[in-house]
Structures are given as structure tokens and as C-alpha cells.
Amino acid sequence: MEPIISIDAEDDPFAYRFDTQFLIDRRDRDLDEDEIAEYITSHFEGNSLIAVGDESLVKVHFHTNEPWKLLEYAFSVGEIYDIVVEDMIRQSDGKQG
């Protein structure tokens, strides 16, 4: 696995372009939001992580440049739905994200 390279998001508010949000529903084992958050922060480049829920449902919010990788991981953990990926640069230009 390649090392995670940090971007200084304070210098660039759109360093992580895609606001990615989804729900993970328990598939065959209980969910652990702390375990999910730890995995995301150690394996994906991004910021503004929120992972909250319980053993049956976890909501994730994360800014990243590679939302497809985050979704692939989430699907390995459980069923994913209510997926929203918004392009914050498009939004700042007054376009639909």
C-alpha cells in the first residue's frame, strides 16, 4: 500500500474536492464506528471525518479526492446506501455539486 500523503488543507480549502457521505448498514457482523473511523484515517487521504452510529448503522462524512475508494471500503464493511458525493469546487462556482 502506498503511504498517505498529507495536503495542507488550510492553504487550499478545496484540497479534498469531494464531500462524500453515506450510510453503512450491518450486513453479517456488528459495526464499530471507532474502527471504521480509524481505518478511514489510516488508509485514505482526506479531512473532516465524521463517523457516528451504533452496531447496526453508521453514518460517514469525509472529504477526499478519491471517493470511489472510500465507497469500496465501506461496501466491504456492510451495505451502503444514501450515497452523496458532491464536488465542492463546482458548488463554489455556483454549479450543482
Q: What is the pLDDT of residues 27-50, one digit of tens each?
A: 999 999 999 999 999 999 999 999
Q: Which range of residues forms the domain containing residue 86?
A: 18-92
Q: Say if residues 21 and 52 touch (Cβ distance below 8 Å).
A: no
Assigned domain for 97 exists: no
In this model, does residue 79 exceed pLDDT 80? yes
Residue 41 lies in a domain: yes
For residue 92, CA distances in Å to 7, 13, 81, 95 come to 20, 11, 26, 7
The pLDDT score that the predictor gives to residue 69 is 97
**Beta partners for residue 18, in sequence order:** 64, 87
Please report whether residue 9 resides in a domain.
no
Angle (CA) 45-32-80 rounded to 5° is 70
Tally of structural domains, the chain:
1
